[in-house]
Structure 1
Amino acid sequence: MELVVFSDKIFEIIDKDYVVEQLVSGLVFTEGPIWDKTTQSVLFTDFTPNRIYKWNRAEGCSVYREESGRAVGLTMDRAGRVVSCETSKRRVSRIEENGEATTLASHYEGKRLNSPNDVIVKSDGMVYFTDPYSTAMGDTKELSGNGIYKVSPETGEITLLGMFNRPNGLAFSPDEKLFYMDDTNLQHVEVFDVTEDGLITNGRVFATLDTDEGRGAADGMKVDSLGNVYVTGPGGVWVIAPDGEKLGIFKFPEVAANLCWGGDDWKTLYVTATSSLYSLQLNIPGIPIGKGLDEI
């Protein structure tokens, strides 16, 4: 696999002789990978057939959940429960231990959400998600714009953090003092300061992705334990230092859509790309989803 190098600092993150492994193939539109450390498995969505899959070394790939609500983004809360963006049902849900789905957010000020796309959970348990209008299967749009929201899973209180062009991936810095969002239409990543009450402010452009690098658009995003930002975009997975310096692009045979860390040391990067799930080993661990920083 080709590596685009913008700075030699990229080799602090990945070895020059790295290997990309194709773990799953033959699917349709893979998205939303997360690592389930209890089963040592990757969970990921396949939008078109409306499923969530599970993959691990011992068992290979199997169906984890049928009728996913055409889920795209997934994450886990601090109790290890899967939180899902169900685009066709226009809601964010949580999958309980018995397999039932609990709605966390479906409306804002009495109007249906657009089509929730990606989701993360802050260390205090608050759920943050993007809500562009793109995959709601032709339903009527009720909200006036495309927002980013946070919702309390305890009270159901939902707060609009801001309206944007087409918000997609989102992530916090390791100390949760910064909030990142990428915009698919504008092909850039924005960064915000996080207030004490979990709102976002002082938005500014963090990095612009060059569309000449290949197919794809700003989509999934994660941040590693040192604060480097990884975003799927034109040509592959872009790696950007905390100061905004572009370090490189991990290229894949297919268009990369989303990514997550996993493995015992959280140094395995899993990437969903069109019909496949890929992995590669990095030198810097990611931040365990839904867990405190002391567990890195």
Structure 2
Amino acid sequence: MKPMPPHLEIHDNRFAALVHPVSTLDVIAEGFTWTEGPVWFGDHHCLLFSDIPSQRIMRWSEATGLSVFRSDSGFNNGNTRDGQGRLVGCRHGARDVVRTEVDGSLSVLANSFQGKRLNSPNDVVVSSDGAVWFTDPTYGIISNFEGYRSTPEQLARNVFRLSADGTLSAVVSDFVQPNGLCFSPDERTLYIAESGSSHDTSVPAVIRQFAVEGDGLRDMGVFAEIDRGLPDGMRCDVMGNLWSSAADGVHCFDQKGVLLGKILVPQVVSNLCFGGRDGHRMFITATTCVYRVFVDVRGL
């Protein structure tokens, strides 16, 4: 086996089959305040990502480089695509979840629960049945850095499910600060990051796992623990491995929560996604930069 480059840290030999010994960790965009929410648009060969405090959604492509996709994003954070390919995002400013329609207009999908404003929707995924699942911590309202300082109206920091018919329900309510979330390949498991240690060091930096049962979730306990910093955004690959953000980079776990290895990044990582023309590039948002690295597995 060839020696691995310094940005790859192997904890299990299976990790060597997911990366490559001649890969490089490249900066493709820099000079931002706090990058988040990467999402790949394969049909346009471009990456969108948020620069939350600057209230911008940026666009990057190999062909045209960097440009502004939306200049007044309302402190947009997490992003995903729905089954029709439309952009779905979480805005801290308006405290809502919005969808960008084909004509460029915005449709508000959710902004309140039981007659009270949401906290600050953070990250979002869309399941194959059209339901929108999102986390609602208070990061966007505890200061004016990523939103507008405000008193929470919700009694909990919930994880929500918005059904295809528009019914909003709280499916988990016992997180200190729920953050990133993603499904397993078969959508039978939903992984959710607990990032409450950002403001309370007594909170464990863990990824929890839930069995998807109909419209609800059943708690299956802790899936994995992050040993550097805390978990934020994360994605699964087609093999079922979970790739999570952390303070020192991206941590890769197998389906049982065993740490396989790390992609070490010089800045604190907030999120990641798979993409590129061949599907074998991982895009990593990390503080002021966006990185790209080859991985030998595709994302979901």
Alpha-carbon distance between aligned partners in 1 of 2:85 and 2:97, rounded to the nearest angstrom: 16
Residue 212 (structure 2) aligns with: 194
Aligned partner of 1:190: which letter? R
Q: Which residue of 1 aligns with 2:226?
A: 209
* Equivalent in the alignment of 1:87: 92
Unaligned residue ranges in structure 2 (runs of 5+):
1-5, 142-147, 197-203
> What percentage of aligned pairs have identical amino acids?
35
Task: Name stretches of at least 5 consecutive residues in structure 1 with no aligned partner.
Answer: 288-296
Match of 2:116 in 1: 111
Deviations 1:161-199 (A, max 9, x none): 01111110101000001110011123101111111x231
In 2, distance between residues paired with 1:71 and 1:111?
20
- Displacement of 1:6 in angstroms is 1.2
Q: Distance in 2 between matches of 1:250 and 1:92?
A: 31
- How many residue pairs match? The answer is 281
**1:285 is paired with a residue of what secondary structure?**
coil
Shift of 1:66: 1.4
Deviation at 1:203, TM superposition (A): 2.8
TM-score (norm 1): 0.92
Choose 82-91 or 257-266, whichever is displaced more.
257-266
Match among 116, 131, 135 for residue 136 of structure 2: 131
Partner residue in 2 for 1:291: none
Q: CA deviation at 1:16?
A: 2.1
Q: Structure 2 matches for 1:12-161, cutoff 5 A? A: 12-136=17-141, 137-152=148-163, 154-161=164-171
Q: Residue 235 of structure 1: which of 244, 248, 252 is its match?
A: 248
CA contact (8 A) 2:39 2:49 kept: yes
Report the counterpart of residue 293 of structure 1 in structure 2.
none
- TM value normalised by structure 2: 0.91
SS in 2 for 1:9: helix
**2:183 maps to amino acid:** F
Residue identity matched to 1:157: T
Deviation at 1:209, TM superposition (A): 1.0
Offset of residue 18 of structure 1: 1.6
Which of 172, 181, 201 matches 1:170?
Answer: 181
Q: Is the 8 A contact 2:10 2:16 kept in 1?
A: no
Q: Deviations over 1:78-100 (max 9, x none)?
A: 11110000011100000112222
Is contact 2:7–2:25 with CA below 8 Å preserved after alignment? no
Q: Distance in 1 between matches of 2:192 and 2:123?
A: 10
SS in 2 for 1:88: coil
Match of 1:244 in 2: 257
- Distance, in Å, in 1 between the alignment partners of 2:102 and 2:43 is 13
| Maintained 8 Å contact 2:247/2:267 | no
